[in-house]
Amino acid sequence: MIVMKFGGSSIGTAEKIERCINIIADQKSKNPAVIVSAHGKTTNGLISMAESALEGNNETNSFIDFHNQLIADLKLDKQLLTTLYLELNEIIHGVKLVKELTYRTMDYICSFGERASSAIIAAALSARGYPAVQVNSYDIGLLTDNHHGSAHPLSDIDEGIAKNILSLTGIPVITGFLGRSNEGKITTLGRSGSDFSASIIGAALNVEEIQIWTDVDGVMTADPSVCSEAANLPVMSFQEASELAFYGAEVLHPATLMPAVQKKIPIKVLNSAKPQEKGTLILTTSQLSDRIAKSIVYKENLSLINIVAPQFRSTAQLLNTALTKLIELHKDIHIAATSESSISFVLDKPYTDEQLEQIVQECSALGTVSIKKNKCLVCVVGEELKGNPNVLGLIFNKLKEMQIKATMVSQSASEINVAFLIENDEIKRTVSALHSLLTELSTRKGSVHS
Ligand code: ASP
Ligand code: MG
């Protein structure tokens, strides 16, 4: 068996849905369990609809018209979603009347997106000769805690899910994103949670492979918008994928893949617009290529904060006090460096001037604070880096040659990445230079790996 998950953008129009149906049909012999997101940007639409009901408007037409258009384009039964529309009208009207929108109600309203898409895809598959059945994940044992908005699956649900799915006839088309709390209410697994659903259900069924169908070419060696040479990465390890996600690449969220990783199930990221391409295979085992590293990622518009505080006797104490302040402000950091009487850290994401000003104010109780904006954190990721000082030498020589100043250099204990800070306006030059280094060396097989 395999799991095939289709993201919202892959099923955003009738034409794209037809393409996905062909993709499913091609792999019918592998016994797919299909998991779907809501069509296109439906979830965003439902959230706005709910918020606007709170303000006194009950407008559900955008949802109904959009889905009716898909139904018409796909030549499906016009009544397919009639009862779902009635239910949506009722709840939206209810929110308008009671003027209350809890997380629980928001989850219920969001559920209409995946309930509609799974019904449409199942009907379209059946109509084209591939008998399929619509399945609500919350009816087949995908049980969660009751953290509405970002619920987590309970342990011991695998057997129940597997038993229920295996008892079905036809291709199951299952709602992504949704679960059920022990109070019997619909929960959601967090935005983009359908990947999580694919991983939970794939693990429960112990499938051979989980396919994540998106609208991008799998994982890339660099951001193609700054590096025209960027190419698709055929294979990488889960640990590398996690590092890339952490440093800003739009890879699958690592935490959501844990159920699959625990069962050592390979995950493939594929482009539904180019199904013949290989995509990226993510494996739980370590993957060494003949390149010097797999990929370069970056996060721009970051700020570097320096605090000089000679009155602190211990660096640990200074760090502790500064980080506690940041936690209180709900801010996070990427990398930190210390010296005898000062600390520097790079904030985790871009913040507004107001937010930065607040950080400076809070930290100025500790010492002299300065802030440097428009910084970019670049990270080279690859298991090839591990235990290979030659590679670090090559990277920094290249930067020196290009006269690019790199600061805050850091390598985590896993040794599969090296990160450093540059100016925003050096991004293109840096990424292109390092990317060509990676490619150059890949043609000289074995020259850097001792
Ligand atoms: N439809 C949900 C969202 O937009 C879940 C998903 O697409 O994975 O967040
Ligand atoms: Mg997604």
Domains in the chain: ranges and CATH: 2-215 (3.40.1160.10), 295-449 (3.30.2130.10)
CA of 8 to the centre of ligand 2 (A): 7
* Averaged pLDDT for residues 386-404: 91
CA of 100 to the centre of ligand 2 (A): 29
CA of 173 to the centre of ligand 1 (A): 16
Task: Give the nearest ligand 1 atom to 196 CA.
Answer: 8
Phi, psi torsion values for 402, nearest 5 degrees:
-85, 0
Cα–Cα distance for residue pair 44/142, rounded to 1 Å: 23
The pLDDT tens digits of the residues spanning 134-167 come to 999 999 999 999 999 999 999 999 999 999 999 9
CA of 270 to the centre of ligand 2 (A): 12
The residue among 247 and 46 whose pLDDT is bigger is 46
Q: Which residues are paired to 237 by β-bridges?
A: 283
DSSP conformation letters of 315-381: HHHHHHHHHHHHHHTT--EEEEEEETTEEEEEESS---HHHHHHHHHHHTTTSEEEEEEEEEEEEEE
* Averaged pLDDT for residues 337-344: 90
Task: Give the nearest ligand 1 atom to 194 CA.
Answer: 8
* Averaged pLDDT for residues 271-277: 95
Sheet harboring 186-188: ordered strands across? 143-144, 178-181, 186-188
pLDDT reading at 442 higher than 50: yes
CA-proximal residue: ligand 1, atom 6 (nearest): 192
* Count of alpha carbons within 13 angstroms of residue 293, beta-carbon side: 33
In terms of Cα–Cα distance, which of 156, 120, 154, 142 is closest to 186? 142
* Averaged pLDDT for residues 159-187: 98
CA-proximal residue: ligand 1, atom 8 (nearest): 192
Write down the pLDDT at residue 60.
97
pLDDT reading at 230 higher than 60: yes
Place of tokens 């940007």: 41
pLDDT reading at 446 higher than 70: no
* Averaged pLDDT for residues 396-412: 94
Write down the pLDDT at residue 447.
47
pLDDT reading at 450 higher than 80: no
* Alpha-carbon torsion, ordered 24, 29, 30, 31, to 10 deg: 80
Cα–Cα distance for residue pair 267/210, rounded to 1 Å: 5
Cα–Cα distance for residue pair 117/100, rounded to 1 Å: 27
Which helix (H) or strand (E) is 245 found in, with range?
A: helix 238-246
CB 76 within 8 A of CB 123: yes
Cα–Cα distance for residue pair 169/135, rounded to 1 Å: 11
pLDDT reading at 445 higher than 70: no
CA-proximal residue: ligand 1, atom 2 (nearest): 192
Q: Which residues are paired to 345 by β-bridges?
A: 305, 336
Q: Is 181 helix (H, G, I), strand (E, B) or coil?
A: strand
Q: Worst-scoring range by mean pLDDT, 29-43, 150-164, 433-447?
A: 433-447
Phi, psi torsion values for 239, nearest 5 degrees:
-65, -40
The residue among 244 and 272 whose pLDDT is bigger is 272
What's the pTM? 0.87
What do you get for the CA distance between the two ends of the chain, in Å? Answer: 40
* Averaged pLDDT for residues 202-208: 98
Name residues contacting ligand 1 (CB within 6 A).
Answer: 7-8, 37-38, 43, 113, 176-177, 191-194
CA–CA distances in Å: residue 162 to residues 262, 283, 368: 17, 23, 59
Residues with Cβ–ion distance below 5 A, ligand 2: 7, 192
Write down the pLDDT at residue 173.
98
Which helix (H) or strand (E) is 165 found in, with range?
A: helix 158-166
CA 382 to chain centre: 19
Interior CA angle at 302 toward 301 and 308, to 5°?
145
CA of 7 to the centre of ligand 2 (A): 5
Residue percentage of the chain with pLDDT more than 90: 82
Write down the pLDDT at residue 290.
79
pLDDT reading at 219 higher than 80: yes
* Averaged pLDDT for residues 354-375: 94
CA of 219 to the centre of ligand 1 (A): 20
Mean pLDDT of the chain: 93
289 pLDDT tier (thresholds 50, 70, 90): confident
* Averaged pLDDT for residues 381-395: 88
Write down the pLDDT at residue 218.
87
* Averaged pLDDT for residues 95-119: 97
Pairing between strand 267-271 and 295-308? unpaired
Q: Which residue from 175, 177, 188, 253 has its CB within 8 A of the most atoms of ligand 1, so it is best to mutate? A: 177
* DSSP-derived secondary structure letter, 185: -
